[in-house]
Homo-oligomer: A and B are copies of this chain.
Amino acid sequence: MARWTPHADERLIKAAVELFAQRGYEETTVADIASRAGLTKRTFFRYFSDKREVLFSGAQELELVWVRGLREAPEDAGPVAAVEVGLEAIAEMFTERHPFARIRARIIAANPELQERELIKLEKLASAGAIALERRGVSADAAALAARTGVGIFHLAFGRWIAQDDPGALGRLLRESMGELRKLLTT
């Protein structure tokens, strides 16, 4: 009987990121990743359909955290206040992933196909956010605007976050970007 391998997915992700950083994404194979994690290729394929999938394994969790934030914002919060709660939740989720996020961003920047996938991920985040806001009673137009603006802010602040060294800075950078946008739109 096969032994149960606890946290195999986390070990595979960690191994993959180490190898991507050391050897490059293109040069790393699934066999390399599995072997570095002390696991088999078969175990790898139980979690990921290919090595690209390792880079996007956080997408579902990101959407979940974002939508949950929007849902759990105080009842009297307007659409933008709810978006701000969603962004805080995202910031918390990412804090410990700073090294991974930096390596990942470098790989994605060098690969147009992965960039497309990243854009689709953000687009889904905007749609899911809009639906969550509508369920709070926000009109469809305002929900789409607020969610899309939130995802735009996330996109920009995330870029600033990985360009600097403090893993805990994402929350502040998100708030700063939102504040800047507010200022730009009112002056």
Contact residue among B116, B145, B156, B186 (Cβ-Cβ distance under 8 Å from A156) = B145
Contact of A182 among B119, B177, B186 (CB under 8 A): B186
**Copies of this chain, tallied across the complex:** 2
Q: Which of A38-46, A89-97, A147-155 contacts B (4 or more CB under 8 A)?
A: A147-155
Q: Does A187 contact B (CB under 8 A)?
A: yes
List of B residues within 8 angstroms of A167 by Cβ: none
Of B120, B123, B148, B182, the residue contacting A185 (CB under 8 A) is B182
Complex interface bits, A162-187 against B, C-beta within 8 A gives 1, otherwise 0: 00000000000000010011101111
* Residue in B119, B141, B180 whose CB lies within 8 Å of A142: B180
A37 within 8 A of B: no
Whether A34 is near chain B, meaning CB under 8 Å from some CB there, is no
Interface contact B180-A145, CB-CB below 8 Å: yes
Q: Are A181's CB and B149's CB within 8 A? A: yes
Interface set of A (CB-CB < 8 Å, partner B): 78-80, 115-116, 119-120, 123, 141-142, 144-146, 148-149, 152-153, 155-156, 160, 177, 180-182, 184-187
Can you report 29 A-B residue pairs in the complex whose CB atoms are below 8 A from each other? Answer: A78-B187, A79-B184, A80-B184, A80-B185, A116-B116, A116-B120, A119-B119, A141-B156, A141-B177, A142-B180, A142-B184, A145-B152, A145-B153, A145-B156, A145-B180, A145-B184, A146-B184, A148-B152, A148-B156, A149-B149, A149-B152, A149-B181, A149-B184, A149-B185, A152-B152, A182-B185, A185-B185, A185-B186, A186-B186
